[in-house]
Amino acid sequence: MTDRTTQVEHGGLALERLVFFSDAVFAIAITLLVLEIEVPHLARDGGLEQFGEAMAVLFPKFFAFGLSFLVIGRFWISHHQLFGHVVAYSPRLMWPNVFYLMAIAFMPFSTALLGTNLTQFGPAMFYNLTLLATASVGWVLVRRIRELSLADAPLAREANGAFSVILGALTSVALTFVSPQFSQMGMVTIPLWIRVLNRKLSA
């Protein structure tokens, strides 16, 4: 076995371990979201009305859970698609990925804070800034892969996709000043930003 073959095999193993570790962090973070929803204790003779009231009290936490589940799921899909193009490994890829995973692992806390204080400015802004930080590190990760020429494609559209999440998060931050409880809807603008950026790419 030549040194070149050994280097390629070790690089492939390191890349595989990086992806497996990343998937594990995503899985743990997305699972932790539901642990913040406490099961209500109902009286035996409480009836359907008591059940409905208990569920209504939990609605903010259900909303925060559903929102963050979709957000983390979208981040994972982007990460999965990105690394589907990565065919080489570099140690310089490690730290951007670690910081990205750190932001993902922090999401359950910001989600719990939002779910407990859905209509308040501070928790909503904190959550949206968490989204912005995560999106920004994700964009840096794409840039690092492009700079190191580790992919089998230019990743221009992937870079646009990552940057569009930043723009969506910035939209949510701006909307916080208007309506904290609906500010996360700014993330819905991401497909629009993707279309605009890809149109400029094709021009």
Query: Helix H segments across the chain?
Result: 3-35, 47-83, 94-116, 121-147, 156-176, 190-202
In angstroms, rounded to a whole number, what is the distance separating the alpha carbons of residues 112 and 132?
17
Q: What are phi and psi of 74, to 5 degrees?
A: -70, -40
Tally of CA atoms within 13 A in the half-sphere of 5 that contains its CB:
2
In angstroms, rounded to a whole number, what is the distance separating the alpha carbons of residues 124 and 117?
8
Per-residue pLDDT of the chain (203 residues; tens, 9 = 90+): 444 433 344 468 899 999 999 999 999 999 999 998 888 887 777 778 888 888 898 999 999 999 999 999 999 999 999 999 999 989 999 999 999 999 999 999 999 999 999 999 999 999 999 999 999 999 999 999 999 999 988 899 899 999 999 999 999 999 999 999 999 999 999 999 999 998 887 76
SS3 151: strand
